[in-house]
Amino acid sequence: MTNTTMINYSTRDFATKEQLELYLLRQEKAFSPEVIKLFTDAGMLRRAVTQIWNKEQSYRVGIVFEYRDQEAYIACQALLKTHYLPAVEGLTTKVVGSRGVIVHEFVADDFIDQAT
């Protein structure tokens, strides 16, 4: 079992490969070690960015945010506005977000949960 109780999953579609690559560079720069500490102190347990590869002629990323609880989610929204959104400003993307609470989970024995 992990400590995650809330998850936000978003996809971002880009018009071109260059826009996607620029996004990846900017978001990586935005999440410096100092900024990551702010997020983890606020209750974010994990963030993962995936480059979607199984959709032809598509330039898409998937982003998973895992939070300790609703309080952490709310606290991290202010940090996203301050540290993340300015970094990706000006990129033309279509964003689809989904938020949920964990209702079922299994975790492999060899999964390392850094939060515990």
For the chain, domains (ranges, CATH) are: 6-101 (3.30.70.100)
Cβ-based neighbour number of residue 115 at 10 Å: 13
User: What is the model's pLDDT at position 115?
Assistant: 47
Task: Report the predicted TM-score, pTM, of the whole model to 2 decimal places.
Answer: 0.82
Asked whether 48 and 64 are in contact (CB, 8 A), the reply is: yes
Query: What string of pLDDT tens digits covers the 116 residues of the chain?
Result: 567 788 999 999 999 999 999 999 999 999 999 999 999 999 999 999 999 987 777 899 999 999 999 999 999 999 999 999 999 888 888 988 888 887 877 777 777 655 44
The whole-angstrom distance between residue 86's C-alpha and the CA centroid of its chain comes to 15
Tokens 């199984």 found at: 54
* Exposure class string for 35-68: b at 16+ Cβ within 10 A, else e: beebbbebbbbbbeeeeeeeeeeebbbebebbbb
Backbone angles phi, psi at 78, to 5 degrees: -65, -40
User: What is the model's pLDDT at position 113?
Assistant: 58
